[in-house]
A = this chain, B = another copy of it.
Amino acid sequence: MTTNSTAADRFEIGAPHRDLLDQVLDKWSLLVLNELCERPMRFSELRRIIPAVTQKSLTATLRRLERNGIIRRVLLSTRPVAVEYSITPLGKTLRPPVEVILDWAAEQMPLIEQARRRYDDELDRPVAEQLR
């Protein structure tokens, strides 16, 4: 029998969360979320506002967020077709946690960059200690 509970347990527990976070906190989702929290938007509006995203990736992102109940997709019967995306109540609950993380990132960024520079500098002189 497996007696260790520290190990696999956490991984089993973490897996669905991991999966969810991957779907909801990925590269473009935060930006889309951000915009749709302001107001509902059309597909082409989102493209204009997030120029770096390709149409393919934006479609994928919107589909994924829609599937997870974070955003809503409404097809407007006009000519030509128009589609409006908007945030759902569930999606709104995601905002505060995301803000917390972003605040952390903003706050610690200086320390992070300092740590990066230090690390990278050390790699530049890997034999330094042998010289003295």
- Whether A17 pairs with B105 at a CB distance below 8 angstroms is yes
The interface on chain A, measured as residues whose beta carbon lies within 8 A of the other chain's beta carbons, has a size of: 52
- Whether B105 pairs with A90 at a CB distance below 8 angstroms is no
A10 to chain B: which residues have CB within 8 Å? 31, 34-35
Mark interface residues in A27-58 (1 if CB within 8 Å of B CB, else 0): 10011001100100000000011111000000
Cα A11 to Cα B46 in complex, Å, equals 12
Of the candidates B8, B68, B97, B118, the one whose C-beta lies within 8 Å of that of A112 is B68
- Whether A67 pairs with B105 at a CB distance below 8 angstroms is no
Mark interface residues in A6-35 (1 if CB within 8 Å of B CB, else 0): 111011001011101110010100110011
Cα A21 to Cα B24 in complex, Å, equals 13
Cα A101 to Cα B30 in complex, Å, equals 13
Q: Contacts A17-B102, A20-B105, A108-B90 given: A7-B49 contact, CB under 8 Å?
A: yes
